């Protein structure tokens, strides 16, 4: 069992709404696939109220019509056992729990996924664990089939990037943190230019954080995703991370926009009444952003590892 803040429950609530709509939109397809790269615990509790709430896997298992195939990745043995038990209790025989690091196991696991099938991937690491090679594998799974790409909803830890790179270049390099960021983006160049500008005082921390997000969206666009939505997830004071949705189908973008903007209950404290909160309207922050940015950015330089 893991304890979570209200913003995590909100994120899973958005996911659940989207998955239900996705399943309905794809109900005529013979196969429908759900991929969860960081499947996590089966029991989740709110820190604020002590209430349990469903995790991503439980939400996906509850979808009707059901996914015909689910790939769940989990590196912790106990959690992997719990995921298998949950699937068994739901009598779901179409669930494969892949134990280990998804960056190492994704390529082989995707071989079982029908390339014609509508597919959705929830890529929700705790921090910087998701590598670009995994994003690229998922994005390119249907290459050459003429089918829409695997849709994905990805957590990018914008606050973590600013904190990890910090303000001390020597310390960051001694800890080999730039290499970790290079694996996250799968490349060098533009994010390093932003980092250098932040260290030199040419741009403020907030602009650097925003640029790290927009550069990640650039990378997704280069993979062929035509519709990109960014949803900041915040606590009472600060942006913690951003959920980035990527699809090349306009209907997917419309549905996710609806799910993100839908009024929903956020359990910030114990209360007698559940009152839905207004959610922020989606804004296109990605289109044309480089033209307005304070510094010129170089081209991407592919990172090999």
| pLDDT at 50 > cutoff 60 | yes
> What is the pLDDT averaged over residues 186-196?
96
Phi, psi values for residue 42, rounded to 5°: -90, -15
Phi, psi values for residue 31, rounded to 5°: -135, 140
Q: Report pLDDT for 240.
A: 85
Q: Report pLDDT for 43.
A: 75
Which range of 34-48, 215-229, 260-274, 289-303 scores highest in mean pLDDT? It is 215-229
| pLDDT at 218 > cutoff 80 | yes
pTM of the model: 0.92
Helix axes 190-199, 205-222, angle to 10 degrees: 180
Q: Can you tell me the distance from the alpha carbon of 145 to that of 258, in angstroms, rounded to the nearest whole number?
A: 29
- 304 burial (CB, 10 Å; 0-12 / 13-18 / 19+) is exposed
Q: 1-42 pLDDT, tens per residue? A: 677 677 788 889 999 999 999 999 999 999 999 999 999 888
Q: Report pLDDT for 268.
A: 64
Q: Report pLDDT for 234.
A: 79
Q: Can you tell me the distance from the alpha carbon of 62 to that of 35, in angstroms, rounded to the nearest whole number?
A: 15
Q: 60-69 pLDDT, tens per residue? A: 999 999 999 9
| pLDDT at 148 > cutoff 90 | yes
Q: What is the DSSP letter of 298?
A: P
> What is the pLDDT averaged over residues 290-300?
93
Look up tokens 């250098």; give the residue: 196
Q: Hey, what domains does the chain have and what are their CATH numbers? A: 2-302 (3.40.50.150)
**Comparing 144-153, 228-237, 258-267, 284-293, which segment has the lowest mean pLDDT?**
258-267
| pLDDT at 238 > cutoff 60 | yes
Residues paired with 247 in a beta bridge: 227
| Ramachandran bin of 144, using left for φ above 0, alpha for ψ from -120 to 50, beta for the remaining angles | left
Q: Can you tell me the distance from the alpha carbon of 65 to that of 215, in angstroms, rounded to the nearest whole number?
A: 36
Nearest C-alpha neighbor of 303 from the set 180, 119, 149, 127: 180
| pLDDT at 213 > cutoff 80 | yes
* Contact between 164 and 224 (Cβ < 8 Å): no
> What is the pLDDT averaged over residues 205-233?
95
Non-local (6+) Cβ contacts of 222 within 8 A are: 300
Percentage of residues in the chain having pLDDT higher than 70: 93
Percentage of residues in the chain having pLDDT higher than 90: 70
| pLDDT at 197 > cutoff 80 | yes
Q: 158-176 pLDDT, tens per residue? A: 999 999 898 889 999 999 9
Rounded to 5°, the CA angle 81-137-211 comes to: 105
Length of the chain: 305
Task: Report the relative pairing of strands 227-234 and 119-123 from DSSP bridges.
Answer: unpaired
* Contact between 235 and 291 (Cβ < 8 Å): no
> What is the pLDDT averaged over residues 48-55?
80
Q: Can you tell me the distance from the alpha carbon of 138 to that of 36, in angstroms, rounded to the nearest whole number?
A: 11
> What is the pLDDT averaged over residues 273-297?
80
Q: Report pLDDT for 277.
A: 65
Of the pLDDT bands very low, low, confident and very high (cuts 50, 70, 90), residue 267 is: low
Q: Can you tell me the distance from the alpha carbon of 266 to that of 276, in angstroms, rounded to the nearest whole number?
A: 7
Which helix (H) or strand (E) segment holds residue 35: the answer is strand 33-36
> What is the pLDDT averaged over residues 132-142?
97
Q: What is the rounded average pLDDT for all residues in the chain?
A: 90
Nearest C-alpha neighbor of 209 from the set 256, 249, 156: 156
Asked whether the CA dihedral 175, 179, 182, 183 is positive or negative, the reply is negative
Residues paired with 264 in a beta bridge: 277
């Amino acid at each position: 069992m893991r304890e979570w803040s209200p913003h995590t429950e909100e994120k899973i609530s958005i996911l659940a709404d989207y998955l239900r709509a996705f399943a309905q939109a794809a109900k005529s397809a013979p196969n429908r696939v759900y991929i969860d790269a960081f499947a996590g615990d089966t029991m989740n509790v709110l820190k604020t109220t002590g209430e349990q709430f469903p995790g991503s896997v439980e939400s996906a298992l509850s979808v009707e019509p059901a996914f015909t195939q689910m790939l769940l990745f989990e590196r912790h043995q106990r959690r992997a056992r719990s995921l298998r038990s949950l699937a068994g209790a739901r009598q779901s025989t179409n669930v494969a729990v892949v134990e280990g690091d998804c960056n190492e196991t994704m390529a082989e696991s995707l071989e079982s996924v029908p390339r014609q099938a509508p597919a959705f991937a929830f890529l929700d690491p705790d921090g910087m664990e998701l590598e670009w090679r995994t994003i690229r594998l998922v994005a390119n799974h249907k290459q050459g089939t003429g089918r829409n790409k695997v849709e994905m909803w990805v957590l990018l830890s914008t606050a973590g990037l600013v904190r990890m790179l910090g303000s001390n270049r020597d310390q960051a390099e001694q800890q080999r943190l730039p290499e970790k960021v290079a694996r996250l983006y799968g490349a060098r160049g533009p994010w390093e230019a932003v980092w250098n500008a932040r260290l030199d005082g040419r741009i403020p921390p907030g602009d650097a954080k925003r640029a790290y997000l927009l550069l990640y969206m650039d990378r997704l666009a280069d993979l062929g995703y035509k519709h990109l939505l960014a949803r900041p997830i915040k606590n009472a004071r600060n942006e913690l991370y951003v959920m980035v949705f990527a699809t090349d189908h306009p209907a997917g973008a419309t549905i996710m926009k609806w799910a993100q903007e839908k009024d929903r209950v956020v359990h910030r404290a114990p209360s007698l009444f559940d009152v839905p909160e207004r959610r922020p309207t989606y804004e296109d922050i990605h289109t044309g952003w480089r033209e307005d940015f304070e510094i010129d950015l170089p081209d991407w330089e592919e990172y090999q590892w």
